[in-house]
Amino acid sequence: MQITFLGTSSGVPTRSRNVSSWALRLPQRAEIWLFDCGEGTQHQFLRSEFKASQIRRIFITHMHGDHIFGLMGLLASCGLAGNPQQQVDIYGPPKLNEYLQACRRYSQTHFSFPIKVHTVQPGLVYEDAEFSVHCNLLEHRVPAYGYRVAEKDRPGRFDVKRATALGIPSGPLYGKLKRGEVITLPDGRRINGSDLCGPPLIGRKVAYCTDTIYCESAIELARGANVVIHESTFAHQDADLAYQRLHSTSTMAAQVALTAQAKRLILTHFSPRYAPGNSIRLEDLLSEAQAIFPATLLAYDFFTYDVPRKQSAELVTH
């Protein structure tokens, strides 16, 4: 699982930061899941190694412009570059489908591929054989949903040499044993697949806490996550503004990660007020968060993070 940030500014873009969007590349799949789609996201795609044709799912947190104004442009461009585009499933709050339909109607835009919009509610949003996605309602000025992507546990490594030594013929039986099933051999022996597999590979978990004040819902999303991506619009000194606008400070995000016993926190969605040369800089927000939760990083546009199965095995790509 690999995370790439395509926009890390809040409200408006800056010269170095676009507005909210990040992409999740799934292991052993040629597909991308996109989370939020602020204005200019398709331009960020052009500057990245991704292809729009790889997008399979888009998860929108809420209806504020810095999280959705790039969605219509991205969808309109998909499929026009000569690459075949499969169906794109879009998940988001009520009114998202109405918004897209209005954009299509008034701009007379026709998509060259199927799109399906799913209105989310707290709970399970999507599930397949390898992943599940849940959402939870956060506390913001409009209905805003955070998401939790969970990779399902997988059986440990199958011991082929031991299976061969037991006289088990290769083929379909190996598949059953790899899944931990019990098989019966022609000679009557019963073999438990779990006895031939190493320790299970525990699935990784990524939580995304979008625009919100500190709340229990964010903690539940982040519970035990390998990575928590949390908005950090304000510094601790500007907590009054955070409460007024229902956004988080760096210290609130750190408290969420600490209480949830997460392994890694990545801050994003920064106010442009903390630009270089100002009295408070982003490095100060990082220091504030690290004082509470040391395993904190600051996101920046095109920052890529490989989600480790174990903290010691992590890889950060700059």
Active-site residue numbers? 66
DSSP code, position 201: B
DSSP code, position 203: P
Are β-strands 145-151 and 315-317 bridged in parallel, bridged antiparallel, or unpaired? unpaired
Angle of helix 282-292 relative to helix 250-259, nearest 10 degrees? Answer: 30
Counted residue by residue, the chain has a size of 318
CA 213 – CA 211 distance, rounded (Å): 7
Structure token digits, residue 286: 């990082």
CA 258 – CA 265 distance, rounded (Å): 9
CA 213 – CA 209 distance, rounded (Å): 10
CA 175 – CA 181 distance, rounded (Å): 9
Q: Are the CB atoms for 31 and 54 separated by under 8 Å?
A: yes
Q: Are the CB atoms for 26 and 131 separated by under 8 Å?
A: yes
Q: Where are the extended beta strands (E) located within the chain?
A: 2-7, 21-25, 32-35, 55-59, 88-92, 115-119, 123-127, 131-137, 145-151, 182-184, 190-192, 205-209, 227-231, 265-268, 296-298, 304-306, 315-317
